[in-house]
Amino acid sequence: MLYHLMFELYGCDSQRLEDAETLQTLLRDLPGRINMTAVSPVHLYDIRECTDEEDNGMSGFVIIAQSHISLHAWPPYHELDVDICSCQPFDPDVAVRFAMELTKAQSCETHFVTRANRSERDQRREQSVSSPSAAPADLALVP
């Protein structure tokens, strides 16, 4: 199963949304705060190619052992959008509170979805828990 948290922060301090260090801190520190493990460096891009200049902003991501965390910041709209996708459960409130504190957001809209409910990965794990492997048979010497 995948746990997918998507949240939008509104009323953010636009200077913080324009500050690469603030967004890098969010992507760098968030995995540890929700008991995940970053396996890539933080990638942050200053997007200036949008046809509508107000849609420009910074986008970034970090790959975690459990999947990924990504974001897009829209300073003109005082908005930050964040996605966290993980095969390991985590506390969404911890993630949202941390992002709100960093950006000084005034409100938040969250969406939490469980995905991959028919995953073979989970079916195999359920089977191994419900039917523990039998003890190994005695080995017989073959002449």
Give the CATH number for residue 75: 3.60.90.10
Q: Is 128:39 a contact under the CB 8 Å cutoff?
A: no
- Rounded Cα distance, 84 and 104, in Å: 20
**Number of domains the chain contains:** 1
Q: What is the pLDDT of residues 73-124, one digit of tens each?
A: 999 999 999 999 998 999 999 999 999 999 999 999 999 998 777 767 656 6
Residue 95 lies in a domain: yes
Residue 66 lies in a domain: yes
Residue 22 lies in a domain: yes
Residue 87 lies in a domain: yes
Structural domain boundaries, residue 60? 2-117
Residue 102 lies in a domain: yes
CB atoms inside a 10 Å sphere around CB 1:
15
Which pairs from 29-34 meet CB under 8 Å and 24+ separation?
29/98, 30/62, 30/69, 30/84, 30/95, 30/98, 30/99, 31/62, 31/64, 31/69, 33/94, 33/95, 33/98, 34/84, 34/86, 34/90, 34/91, 34/94, 34/95
- Rounded Cα distance, 125 and 128, in Å: 5
Residue 68 lies in a domain: yes
Residue 86 lies in a domain: yes
Residue 134 lies in a domain: no
pTM: predicted TM-score of the whole model, two decimal places: 0.80
Q: What is the mean pLDDT of residues 13-25?
A: 97
